Amino acid sequence: MYLERAKKLAHKAIIERFVAVVRSKNASPTWSDVRAALLDFDRAGLLSLAQDLYNASKDNQAFLHARLGLGHDQLQPFKASISNWICPDLMKNQPISVSRAKKAIADYRKAIGRPDGMAELSIFYYEEALGFLESCSMEDESYFVALIRMYEQSLEFVLSLPPAERANYLERLDKLRSRGRHVGWGVPDELNRLWYAAALDEFQ
pLDDT digits 0-9 by tens, 26-77: 568 898 888 888 888 888 888 888 888 889 988 898 888 888 888 888 999 9
pLDDT band at 193 (very low <50, low <70, confident <90, very high): very high
Q: Which whole number is the average pLDDT over 71-96?
A: 91
Residue ranges per domain, the chain?
A: 1-56, 58-203
pLDDT of 21 above 70: no
Percent of all residues in the chain with a pLDDT value above 70, rounded to a whole number: 84
With b for 16 or more beta-carbon neighbours within 10 A and e for fewer, the 15-46 pattern comes to beebeebeeeeeeeeeeebeeebeeebeeebe
Residue 203 has pLDDT above 60, yes or no: no
| Residue 22: predicted pLDDT | 53
What pLDDT does 54 receive? 87
Question: Amino acid identity of 132?
Answer: F
For 58-203, CATH gives 1.25.40
Question: Higher pLDDT residue, 4 or 60?
Answer: 60
What's the confidence (pLDDT) of residue 17?
61
CA distances from 47 to 2, 11, 19, 33, 44 (A): 21, 11, 17, 19, 5
The DSSP string of the chain is -HHHHHHHHHHHHHHHHHHHHHHHS-SS--HHHHHHHHTT--HHHHHHHHHHHHHH-HHHHHHHHHHHT-SS-TTHHHHHHHHHHHS--GGGTPPP-HHHHHHHHHHHHHHT--HHHHHHHHHHHHHHHHHHHHHS----HHHHHHHHHHHHHHHHHHHTS-GGG-HHHHHHHHHHHHHGGG--TTHHHHHHHHHHHTTGGGG-
Average pLDDT over residues 111-138: 93
What pLDDT shows up at residue 98?
94
pLDDT at position 198 over 90: no
Tens digit of pLDDT for each residue in 145-157?
A: 999 999 999 999 9
